[in-house]
Structures are given as C-alpha cells and as structure tokens.
C-alpha cells in the first residue's frame, strides 16, 4: 500500500490543486499498467471472457494493458509462472494443491469454471446412460485424467484399471469400436464426434458424479497479489464482466470471436457457437456459488471438500493446508451475477 505524508510544500500545493485536477485525471487515464495472462491452450470459446474483456475495452477501462498469450501442447505454463515470464496463468484445483505441496508462493484468486468440463463420451444406441454404464467398456483416458478424476470415478463406481487404454487425441479408435468410451471436453469433442457420425453422442459430465474441482482458474504469485492488490482486483473484475458479456452472446461478442479466430484459425463460428451454447446449458460458468457470488466465485468449504475427496482416493497427500491453495479476497463480489 502506498504511504502518503502531507508536508508543508504539499499543503501549499493544495491551493493550486483544483486547477490541475483535469490534467491529472487525463494523465492517469492514459497510463496503463501492464499485465500478461497466459492461457492453458490455443484460443477458443472456452477462453472467451478474456478475449471479450480485451475486445470490449474492459481491461483498458480498468487502466490495464493486458496481453493474453495462448498456450499449446508443448508449452509448460506453470514453468512460465514460476520463472516470472507471465503475471498470471489459467490453472485448476490440482495445480493449486501442487503449489501448496511444493511450498511454492502461488495460489488461486478466481475460478471461472464452476464445473469441470471433462466428459466421457459413449456411442448412441449402446445403453450408455449413466456412470454405472462405464463398467465393462474400454475407456480411453489420457495420462492427466488417470491421476486426477479417474481414481475418483474408479472408487465411486467400482471400475477397474484394466479397462483403460491411452487417449491420443485421435477419434479413430473411438469410431472403430462401439464399446469404446473416450474422454473429452463438453464444449469440444462431442461436437467433433457429432460431425463424424451424424448425431450427438451421449456423454457424462464428470462434475455430475460429484467431482468438484474448479477449472479455468487464475493462478498468481502471492507477492504480486499483495503488492498490487488494486491492480489485480481491477483485472479480476474486468475479466469476470468479460465472461458475463461473452456468455450473453450476440453482436457484442463478435469482436472477441474475431480475435479468437485470428489467434487460432482452427476455430470456426459453428464451433464457437456450440461451445457457448453448451457452457450456458450445463452451467459450466454460471452455477453453484456463481449464481449469488458472481462469475469466478469460490467457497472455502468446496476447496476443503475437494481436497479431502482427493486424499480419500490417494491423489493428494494428507496434511496439506487446503486454505493456502486459494484466496477469496478478489471474488464473491457479485460481478457478472445473473439478473
């Protein structure tokens, strides 16, 4: 916090201050503070709120020159944060507890996705209606899923490791065998599969099984959050408002979508519209605590409950201080709350 001391010279200067206020306000308005935010993947609708805040001038209005850097398959974004190459990164609950376990000086300040968007996708007309139907099927799950949500599902639904096969981000194994279930994001892979088979496949959102991880969180160093608290609060507020605007859709987000497609030409209007539609329909952003606390809301009880659920399946070690994984200082203020 800046310390102000009023001396005799400053007191005398107050006489002329009213004449200078318009110039001072103009100077401040033109001075933007730089922040670099790193996403976890290539630009897409699942990052739309950030691009909306950029395209709609919400960051600039908040006095911020915000640079959004997109991620990719070979980029270690945690390392970028640890090395100070970026100010904040798109993260998740598991990474927050990794910081606690390693005693690293980083934590979570907002959770954009109230529900983890991870899904398990089955085939039409195969009796794939619930998590109990995973038994006896071949499951294509990647290395990340095997050490996060899989142990939870395995214990809760009596599944077996023998069912697992590698997931290679290729639809061919799924398309070749109707007994196969593959992982995906609710806003992406089901749509791609529907284009291949001519109709929407059935899928299970793992959040519906009680898996309570936050996703698309914002991770930051404790030092930056403390030393530039006002700046970070302005960034968070602009981001949350950007998400509220983006989910409403319409002409107001055309510029944001243009930015997404410019940065990532693989994105198309139909894919973007599908992603927005399903995020709204399934309450990925606006559900739970966000209905009252606004976009990005978090709860102490949920963080602690998720930690315990992961301890119970040996994913996270016992004895961590769950409260060090996050702070509620910047959220739960009603920004973007549904009206």
Q: How far apart are CA 27 and CA 63, in angstroms?
A: 11
Quick check: 299 pLDDT over 60?
Answer: yes
Q: At what angle do helices 48-55 and 254-263 cross, to 10 degrees?
A: 110
Quick check: 339 pLDDT over 90?
Answer: no
30: pLDDT confidence band, cut at 50, 70 and 90?
Answer: low
Closest by Cα among 164, 82, 154 to 310: 154
Predicted local confidence at residue 73, as pLDDT: 85
Quick check: 234 pLDDT over 70?
Answer: yes
pLDDT tens digits for 101-111? 999 999 999 99
pLDDT tens digits for 149-205? 999 999 999 999 999 999 998 999 999 999 999 999 999 999 999 999 999 999 999
Per-residue pLDDT, averaged over 259-266, amounts to: 97
Q: How far apart are CA 262 and CA 242, in angstroms?
A: 19
Closest by Cα among 339, 301, 338 to 323: 301
Per-residue pLDDT, averaged over 47-56, amounts to: 98
74 or 234, which is more confident: 234
Q: Which residues in 207-232 are b (16+ Cβ under 10 Å) and which e?
A: bebebbbbbbbbbbbeebbeebeebb
Predicted local confidence at residue 262, as pLDDT: 97
Q: How many CA atoms lie within 13 A of 98 on its CB side?
A: 11
- Look over the chain and give the mean of its residue pLDDT values, rounded to a whole number: 91
Per-residue pLDDT, averaged over 26-44, amounts to: 83
Q: What is the DSSP string of 164-219?
A: EE---S-SHHHHH-TTEEEEEETTTHHHHHHHHHSSPPPEEEGGGGT----EEEEE
pLDDT tens digits for 117-165? 999 999 999 999 999 999 999 999 999 999 999 999 999 999 999 999 9
Predicted local confidence at residue 172, as pLDDT: 96
Predicted local confidence at residue 4, as pLDDT: 27
- Give CA 315 to chain center in angstroms: 21
Quick check: 13 pLDDT over 50?
Answer: no
97: pLDDT confidence band, cut at 50, 70 and 90?
Answer: very high
- 2-6, 293-297, 303-307: least confident range: 2-6
Predicted local confidence at residue 74, as pLDDT: 82
Question: In the sheet where 33-38 sits, what is the strand order?
Answer: 64-69, 33-38, 88-92, 215-221, 106-113
Whether the model clears a pTM of 0.75, i.e. scores above it, the answer is: yes
What distance, in Å, lies between the first and last C-alpha atoms of the chain? 35
75 or 249, which is more confident: 249
Predicted local confidence at residue 21, as pLDDT: 39
Contact 256, 51 (CB under 8 A): yes
Query: What percent of the chain has pLDDT above 70?
Result: 91
Predicted local confidence at residue 17, as pLDDT: 37
40 or 15, which is more confident: 40
């Amino acid at each position: 916090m800046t310390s102000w001391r009023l001396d005799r010279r400053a007191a005398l200067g107050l006489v002329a201050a009213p004449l200078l206020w318009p110039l001072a306000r103009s100077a401040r308005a033109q001075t933007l503070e730089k922040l670099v935010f790193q996403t976890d993947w290539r630009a897409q609708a699942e990052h739309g709120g950030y691009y909306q805040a950029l395209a709609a001038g919400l960051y600039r209005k908040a006095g911020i020159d915000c640079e959004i850097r997109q991620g990719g398959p070979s980029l270690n974004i945690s390392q970028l944060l640890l090395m100070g190459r970026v100010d904040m990164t798109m993260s998740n609950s598991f990474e927050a507890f990794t910081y606690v376990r390693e005693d690293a000086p980083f934590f979570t300040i907002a959770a954009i996705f109230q529900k983890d968007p991870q899904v398990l996708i089955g085939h039409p007309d195969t009796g794939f209606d619930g998590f109990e139907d995973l038994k006896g099927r071949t499951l294509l799950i990647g290395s990340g899923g095997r050490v996060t949500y899989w142990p939870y599902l395995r214990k809760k639904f009596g599944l077996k490791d023998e069912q697992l096969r590698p997931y290679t981000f290729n639809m061919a194994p799924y398309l070749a065998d109707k007994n196969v279930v593959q992982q995906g994001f609710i806003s992406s892979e089901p749509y791609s599969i529907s284009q291949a088979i001519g109709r929407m496949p059935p899928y299970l959102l793992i959040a519906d099984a009680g898996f309570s991880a936050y996703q698309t969180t914002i991770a930051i160093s404790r030092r930056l959050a403390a030393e530039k608290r006002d700046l970070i609060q302005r960034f968070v507020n602009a981001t949350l408002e950007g998400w509220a605007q983006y989910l409403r859709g319409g002409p107001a987000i055309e510029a944001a979508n243009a930015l997404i497609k410019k940065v990532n030409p693989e994105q198309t209007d139909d894919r973007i519209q599908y992603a927005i539609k399903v995020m709204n329909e399934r309450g990925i952003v606006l559900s739970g605590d966000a209905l009252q606390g606004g976009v990005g809301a978090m709860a102490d009880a949920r963080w602690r409950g998720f930690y315990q659920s992961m301890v119970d399946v040996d994913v996270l070690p016992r004895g961590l201080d769950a409260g060090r994984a996050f702070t509620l200082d910047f959220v739960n203020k009603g920004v973007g709350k549904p009206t």
